[in-house]
Amino acid sequence: MKGESANHRQSWSTLYAASLTPESRERTCGYWFTVTSGAMAHTAFATRAGLDRWLAERGLRLETGLPDAGISGFTPVIGEYRTEMHGQWLGDDYRDGMGEGGFYSLRPVLATAALSNGRWTLALITEDVDGIRTVHTLNPNVKTRVEFARPRTDVLMGQREG
């Protein structure tokens, strides 16, 4: 186990964006815009700027226009992106913890914040040789993982209105 990579990689390609009515917003913790993966929740935003930032960081775009907050609308998201969570076991017992596993040797096109395990953390976005972007984060078990203050970062990233 010692030195073994614990990285986890996923691809996301069947995404849909929606703008919500005031009634729908009440059922989504105050979000005006949602992104789903098939029929499952993927992420949500209180502001259009937050949705647009998230799409741009990942190299994605909307197939058609999306109405303003408060007006129901739905459109496919064009493109695909990946996520990879990094970690490397430090010992032969899981209680020995995890190290960064090459995270800081990445060559990102962008550094930003991403939600991971309910906390905002440093995300490094790379563009792979196939042109698809990957959002890299550290495993929550990595003790040296950088985390950002939740209320302020929620507003900065468009998860909450400021």
What pLDDT score does 5 carry? 72
Residues 51 and 101 both lie in one domain: no
Residues 105 and 132 both lie in one domain: yes
Residues 85 and 62 both lie in one domain: no
How far apart, in whole angstroms, are the C-alpha atoms of residue 140 and residue 142?
Answer: 5
With a CB cutoff of 8 Å and minimum separation 6, the contacts of 52 are: none
Question: How buried is 134 (Cβ within 10 angstroms: 0-12 exposed, 13-18 middle, 19+ buried)?
Answer: buried
What is the block-wise mean pLDDT of the chain (162 residues), using blocks of 10 residues?
78 97 92 95 95 98 96 98 90 73 91 94 97 95 90 88 80
Is residue 17 within 8 A of residue 37, CB to CB? The reply is: no
* Token digits of residue 133: 């972007």
Residues 43 and 94 both lie in one domain: no
What pLDDT score does 130 carry? 97
pTM of the model: 0.90
* Token digits of residue 21: 């009515």
Q: Does residue 99 lie within any of the structural domains?
A: yes
Residues 141 and 98 both lie in one domain: yes
- Alpha helices (H) in the chain, listed in sequence order: 22-26, 48-57, 150-156
Residues 86 and 146 both lie in one domain: yes
What pLDDT score does 99 carry? 78
Number of domains in the chain: 2
Number of residues that make up the chain: 162
Residues 129 and 70 both lie in one domain: no
Residues 25 and 69 both lie in one domain: yes
Residue 143's domain comprises: 81-156
